[in-house]
């Protein structure tokens, strides 16, 4: 039984005319116009990503300029002797050279000799040099003179994916055509036409996944299409496509974002576990989530919706979810995913850093709870302040004042205790060189600018302003509370280590600061700062207490030596220790 030989789609459906080239309409129109007007250059450079049609357009161009009966729309007739010879791959007027394997001076000299031979039939002899950037420097120099002044019948078409590697003297002698990446909708349309010809059923979502996986290359898209078709037996579904290509279903990302909307941390961690159980890499997941958040961000505005490279059904789902999210969520969420991706490689516990990112994402939309427990919210955990000797002012009886509420403008400027702290901005070294009174209030947990007595008189006396605690306190009381916090929170090892290495120093009665030698310590302290400030203010009974965390770059950061580095350090300071190791033949395991 005879059976037709199978031909891959990338070869079977390779364009043979300008009109069948996908995604390069402007460029092909320019080439057709130049052919119709007879304004042909002697050298062209086609550059762009892989699989976008550079070599294909070079072949179509070579066939068309030698056609003796060009159609009205500027296409080759495919009937004349020259076109038939080209279609049968027997034309002597078209010479192709692969510069990747023929990149020496001798190869170019042989090409220069061939150029001197005129065509037997037709007007032009076309030389297509693929991957021209692979030519050596000497080969480029040998090619310069021929490229600049070729015979009138010779036309050179150079193709490359890396234009920056071509020397400027070559570029100046060519007309440069930049091929662009093929868009996802264009690839999907071409795949739909092929499915119709091949009688293959395919879901639009599946073809959209194939187009996205191809990353702008039509040849890659056709190769992936053949792979999926072989496994799906002529019925390409979305589920079979993502399984065959090992693509994570975007439904997982929609579910994670829904957890962020409701603040459902446990469910987000369970979704992440489900993804890991399917064998997907954690960094692949976090990058996919960042791409999903980016797509939601562009879908939130009608003017940027066109940036979504997907079909209408899927893009509408993105628009619906994006409508539920404020603009600030996208910026903070993308920053968290980007930070996770940057720190992932150096993280010891890679699973933990991804889970911590999910926790922070779920906390973005959660409102800050009030300091006083209500029936609808769980009560705050009470922290007992450390015992200290009361000052005469503290010993005096004071009338209890109502707690401040968020309705007061002045009370809003005073930090309130929080159960869940939002991500703090990264502290830069340059920030600490600025005086406290010149810094932005939004980047501090305290009020930098003091309120003068004159301004206090102008401010209306409300129950909120009367409830602000302003008991006098001493530096010793602050230090006692500082040490007591360390004792009460031994499980916070990183924070305790930073607090132990630096004690608060006062700049004024209520303004204190600490200096740390490590950016990592500064980051962890900024994250724990709300809880620490609540503890200290309760201890001294003064809500005006402020603490600034500074990075001291002048002090060298303490280095943790490995056992081998310790031995090498001892060898440098004690030469006898080196002889001792050699005599007893000692070594590290």
Domains of the chain: 9-178 (3.40.50.300), 184-244 (1.10.8.60), 250-363 (1.20.272.10), 424-551 (3.30.300.180)
**Separation CA 188–CA 205 (nearest Å):** 10
**Stretch among 80-84, 335-339, 482-486 having the lowest mean pLDDT:** 80-84
**Stretch among 112-121, 274-283, 373-382 having the lowest mean pLDDT:** 373-382
| Mean pLDDT confidence for 550-573 | 71
| Mean pLDDT confidence for 87-96 | 84
Strand arrangement, sheet containing 546-551: 505-506, 511-516, 546-551
Q: Which helix (H) or strand (E) holds 551?
A: strand 546-551
pLDDT of residue 559: 59
Q: In terms of pLDDT, which residue wins out, 466 or 580?
A: 580
pLDDT digits (tens, 9 = 90+) for 231-285: 887 788 888 888 888 888 888 999 999 999 888 999 999 999 999 988 889 999 9
Residue 425 makes CB contacts below 8 A (sequence gap 6+) with: 443, 526
pLDDT of residue 383: 53
pLDDT of residue 465: 47
pLDDT of residue 395: 42
Asked whether the whole model's pTM tops 0.75, one would answer no
Using CA atoms of 456, 458, 460, 463 in order, give the dihedral in degrees to the nearest 10.
10
Helices (H), 263-382: 265-277, 282-299, 312-322, 327-344, 350-363
pLDDT at 398 over 60: no
Confidence of residue 450 (pLDDT cuts 50, 70, 90): very low
Residue 567 makes CB contacts below 8 A (sequence gap 6+) with: 581, 588
Q: How far is CA 512 from CA 54, 288, 432, 475, 509, in A?
A: 66, 43, 13, 9, 8
First to last CA, the chain: 68
pLDDT at 583 over 60: yes
* Residue 448, Cβ density class (10 Å: 0-12 exposed, 13-18 middle, ≥19 buried): middle
**Separation CA 537–CA 294 (nearest Å):** 41
pLDDT at 473 over 60: yes
Strand arrangement, sheet containing 175-178: 94-98, 125-130, 154-160, 43-47, 175-178
pLDDT at 42 over 80: yes
Cβ distance 62 to 94 under 8 Å? yes
Confidence of residue 2 (pLDDT cuts 50, 70, 90): very low
DSSP string, 306-319: GG--S-HHHHHHHH
Helices (H), 134-215: 137-148, 168-171, 184-198, 204-214
pLDDT of residue 117: 84
Confidence of residue 381 (pLDDT cuts 50, 70, 90): low
pLDDT digits (tens, 9 = 90+) for 195-240: 988 888 888 888 888 988 888 888 889 999 988 888 887 788 888 8
Q: How far is CA 233 from CA 27, 199, 228, 285, in A?
A: 37, 12, 9, 29
Using CA atoms of 352, 356, 361, 363 in order, give the dihedral in degrees to the nearest 10.
150
**Separation CA 400–CA 417 (nearest Å):** 19
Confidence of residue 359 (pLDDT cuts 50, 70, 90): very high
Largest pairwise CA distance in the chain: 114
Q: What percent of the chain has pLDDT over 90?
A: 13
Residue 221 makes CB contacts below 8 A (sequence gap 6+) with: 51, 182, 187, 190, 191, 210, 211, 213, 214
pLDDT of residue 160: 92
| Mean pLDDT confidence for 323-350 | 90
pLDDT digits (tens, 9 = 90+) for 123-161: 888 999 998 999 888 888 888 888 888 888 899 999 999
Confidence of residue 557 (pLDDT cuts 50, 70, 90): low
pLDDT at 520 over 50: yes
Residue 260: other Cβ atoms inside 10 A: 22
pLDDT of residue 248: 85
Closest CA to 414 of 537, 508, 524, 528: 537
């Amino acid at each position: 039984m005879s059976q037709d030989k199978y031909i891959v789609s990338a070869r079977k459906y390779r364009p043979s005319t300008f009109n069948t080239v996908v995604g390069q309409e402007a460029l092909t129109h320019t080439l057709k116009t130049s052919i119709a007007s007879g304004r042909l250059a002697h050298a062209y450079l086609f550059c762009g990503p892989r699989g976008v049609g550079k070599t294909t357009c070079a072949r179509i161009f070579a066939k068309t300029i030698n056609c003796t009966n060009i159609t009205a729309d500027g296409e080759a007739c495919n009937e004349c002797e020259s076109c038939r010879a080209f279609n049968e791959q027997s034309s002597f007027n078209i010479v192709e050279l692969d510069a990747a394997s023929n990149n020496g001076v001798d190869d170019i000299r042989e090409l220069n000799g061939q150029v001197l031979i005129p065509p037997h039939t037709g007007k032009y002899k076309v030389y297509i040099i693929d991957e021209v950037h692979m030519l050596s420097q000497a080969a480029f120099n040998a090619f310069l003179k021929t490229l600049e002044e070729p015979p009138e019948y010779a036309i050179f078409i150079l193709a490359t994916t890396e234009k920056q590697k071509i020397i400027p003297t070559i570029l100046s002698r060519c007309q440069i055509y930049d091929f662009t990446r093929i868009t996802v909708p264009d690839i999907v349309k071409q795949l739909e036409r092929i499915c119709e010809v091949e009688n293959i059923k395919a879901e639009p979502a599946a073809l959209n996944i194939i187009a996205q996986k191809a990353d702008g290359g039509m040849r890659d898209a056709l190769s992936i299409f053949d792979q999926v078709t072989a496994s799906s037996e002529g019925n390409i579904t979305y589920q079979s496509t993502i399984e065959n290509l090992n693509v994570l279903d975007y439904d997982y990302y929609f579910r994670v974002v829904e957890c962020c909307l409701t603040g459902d941390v446990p469910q987000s961690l369970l979704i992440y576990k489900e993804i890991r159980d399917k064998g997907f890499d954690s960094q692949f997941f976090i990058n996919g989530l960042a791409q999903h958040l980016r797509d939601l961000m562009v879908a939130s505005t009608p003017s940027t919706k066109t940036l979504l490279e997907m079909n209408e059904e899927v893009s509408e789902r993105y628009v619906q979810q994006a409508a539920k999210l404020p603009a600030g969520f996208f910026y903070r969420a993308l920053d968290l995913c980007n930070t996770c991706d940057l720190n992932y490689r150096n993280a010891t516990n890679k699973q933990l850093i991804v889970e911590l990112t999910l926790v922070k994402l779920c906390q973005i939309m959660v409102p800050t709870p009030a300091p006083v427990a209500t029936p609808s919210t769980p009560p705050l955990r009470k922290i007992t302040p450390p015992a200290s000797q009361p000052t005469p002012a503290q010993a005096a009886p004071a009338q209890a004042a109502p707690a401040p509420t968020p309705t007061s403008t002045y009370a809003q400027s005073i930090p309130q205790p929080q159960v869940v702290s939002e991500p703090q901005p990264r502290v830069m070294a340059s920030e600490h060189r600025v005086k406290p009174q010149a810094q932005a209030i939004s980047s501090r947990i305290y009020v930098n600018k003091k309120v003068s007595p004159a301004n206090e008189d102008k401010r209306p006396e409300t129950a909120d302003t009367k409830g602000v605690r302003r008991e006098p306190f001493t530096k010793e009381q602050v230090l006692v509370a500082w040490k007591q916090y360390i004792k009460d929170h031994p499980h916070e090892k990183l924070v305790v280590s930073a607090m132990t290495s630096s004690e608060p120093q006062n700049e004024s009665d209520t303004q204190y600061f600490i200096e740390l030698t490590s950016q990592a310590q500064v980051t962890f302290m900024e994250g724990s700062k709300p809880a620490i400030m609540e503890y200290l203010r309760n201890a001294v009974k003064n809500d005006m207490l402020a603490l600034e965390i500074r990075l001291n770059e002048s002090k060298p950061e303490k280095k943790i030596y490995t056992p081998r580095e310790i031995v090498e350090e001892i060898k440098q300071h004690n030469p006898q220790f080196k002889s001792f190791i050699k005599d007893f033949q000692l070594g590290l395991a």
